[in-house]
């Protein structure tokens, strides 16, 4: 059966403002394009990519979701460090990851265009381009509407639907643990994900109005090539 990757990215004055993707059947391309072009509130350029996929694997998503809310950012970040520690990351490296995202992980102290790759044993940064990092793409839910309905009925947001897909693909590809919070100044909930701890939502991982965010993927250096190839190229449809 043939599947197609439909991707949208939009920018304003050279800055990325919105991105989304779907993996759909040929006959659903027009409606998907119509849906995706409505997503960015404002932009001066919008790019659409429609790409036929050769091999798509279907994978059962099995990350348990939990949510924790704290009085302040420092407590929430300490908790994220604990969850990373329980996922096999040393406390030092977990703090290093928090500090990287907090202060902007690109060399200019701003957001990267993708995720940091960090060696889980040494803390060495492994991404080729520290402004770009690596992006998790070619992933979607097999039954997106059903999953969205289910997760929103449980009190989760549509953001969680997308972030859970990324986190699940990351683990599938060999990412051992992930720390994430958004660069959206109005969205302060982030997460730690790992196969042992599941998808742990944590709020507030930053202060309201803070424009910095990012992702750190903990990986084994010796698996780097295989993991990056999987994150960027492998097409994965998630079943719940
Ligand atoms: N952040 C910042 N810049 C981005 C970007 C992002 N997330 N995605 C794309 N860009 C910009 C970069 O300048 C990039 O150049 P680079 O590769 O040198 O960094 C340029 O656009 C082209 O990127 P490309 O990777 O070719 O884009 P794409 O057409 O394959 O689309 C997206 C990638 C936008 C779909 C992906 O980044 C994204 O945001 N996915 C949505 C994630 C998601 O919610 N998935 C869950 C689905 S269930
Ligand atoms: P967001 O949750 O979309 O606000 O993204 C938070 C941060 O994660 C961004 O600042 C990027 O550094 C990084 N990022 C965005 N999209 C991706 C992706 N598809 N894969 C990996 N990292 C990403």
Rounded-to-integer distance, Cα 164 and Cα 193, Å: 9
Residue of minimum CA distance from atom 7 in ligand 2: 214
Rounded-to-integer distance, Cα 15 and Cα 65, Å: 32
Give φ, ψ of 126 to 5 degrees: -110, -5
Question: Does residue 111's CB lie within 6 angstroms of at least one atom of ligand 2?
Answer: yes
Question: Does residue 39's CB lie within 6 angstroms of at least one atom of ligand 2?
Answer: no
Residue of minimum CA distance from atom 23 in ligand 2: 114
Distance 5 CA to ligand 1 centre (A): 13
What are the DSSP calls for the chain, one per residue? Answer: --EEEEEEEEEETTEEEEEEEEEEEGGGHHHHHHHHHTS-SS-SEEEEEEEEES-EEEEE--PPEEEEE-SSHHHHHHHHHHHHHHTT--HHHHHHHHHHHHH-SSTTSS--SSBEEEETTT--B--S-TTT-B---SEEETTHHHHHHHHHHTT--HHHHHHHHHHHHHHHHT--EEEEE-S-TT---EEEEETTTEEEEEE-SS-TT----EEEEEE-GGGHHHHHHHHHH-EEEEE-
Question: What are the domain boundaries of the chain?
Answer: 3-54, 59-239
3-state secondary structure 10-69: EEECCEEEEEEEEEEEHHHHHHHHHHHHCCCCCCCEEEEEEEEECCEEEEECCCCEEEEE
Residue of minimum CA distance from atom 8 in ligand 2: 214
Distance 10 CA to ligand 1 centre (A): 9
Question: Does residue 213's CB lie within 6 angstroms of at least one atom of ligand 1?
Answer: no
Residue of minimum CA distance from atom 32 in ligand 1: 19
Look at residue 156 in the predicted model and tell me its pLDDT.
Answer: 94
Residue of minimum CA distance from atom 9 in ligand 2: 214
Look at residue 240 in the predicted model and tell me its pLDDT.
Answer: 87
**What is the value of pTM for the model shown?**
0.97
Judged by its nearest atom, the ligand closest to the C-alpha of residue 205 is: 2
Q: How many CB atoms lie within 10 A of CB 7?
A: 17
Residues 6+ apart with CB under 8 A from 62: none
Distance 214 CA to ligand 2 centre (A): 6
Ligand 1 site-directed mutation target among 21, 182, 212, most atoms within 8 Å of CB: 21
Residue by residue, pLDDT tens for the chain (240 residues) are: 799 999 999 999 999 999 999 999 999 999 999 999 999 999 999 999 999 999 999 999 999 999 999 999 999 999 999 999 999 999 999 999 999 999 999 999 999 999 999 999 999 999 999 999 999 999 999 999 999 999 999 999 999 999 999 999 999 999 999 999 999 999 999 999 999 999 999 999 999 999 999 999 999 999 999 999 999 999 999 998
Q: Report how far Cα 80 is from the mean position of its chain's Cα atoms.
A: 16
Rounded-to-integer distance, Cα 170 and Cα 217, Å: 8
Look at residue 132 in the predicted model and tell me its pLDDT.
Answer: 98
Distance 104 CA to ligand 2 centre (A): 12
Look at residue 1 in the predicted model and tell me its pLDDT.
Answer: 74
Residue of minimum CA distance from atom 24 in ligand 1: 9
């Amino acid at each position: 059966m043939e599947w197609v990757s439909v991707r949208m990215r939009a920018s304003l004055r050279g800055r990325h403002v919105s991105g989304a993707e779907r993996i759909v059947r040929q006959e659903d391309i027009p409606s998907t394009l119509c849906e995706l072009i409505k997503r960015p509130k404002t932009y001066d350029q919008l790019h659409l990519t429609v790409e036929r996929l050769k091999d798509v694997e279907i994978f059962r998503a099995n990350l348990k979701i939990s949510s924790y809310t704290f009085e302040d950012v420092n407590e929430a970040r300490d908790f994220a460090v604990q969850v990373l520690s329980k996922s096999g990351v040393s406390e030092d490296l977990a703090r290093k990851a928090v500090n990287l995202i907090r202060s902007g992980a690109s060399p200019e102290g701003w957001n990267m265009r993708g995720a940091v790759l960090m060696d889980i044993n040494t803390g060495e940064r492994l991404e080729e381009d520290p402004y770009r990092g690596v992006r998790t793409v070619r992933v979607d839910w097999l039954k997106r509407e059903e999953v969205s309905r289910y997760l929103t009925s449980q009190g989760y947001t549509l953001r969680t639907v997308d972030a859970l897909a990324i986190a699940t693909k990351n683990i599938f590809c060999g990412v051992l643990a992930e720390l994430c919070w958004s660069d959206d100044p109005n969205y302060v909930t982030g997460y730690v994900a790992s196969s042992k701890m599941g998808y742990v939502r944590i709020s507030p991982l930053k202060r309201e109005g803070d424009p910095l965010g990012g992702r750190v993927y903990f990986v084994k250096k010796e698996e780097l090539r295989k993991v990056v190839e999987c994150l960027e190229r492998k097409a994965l449809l998630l079943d719940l």
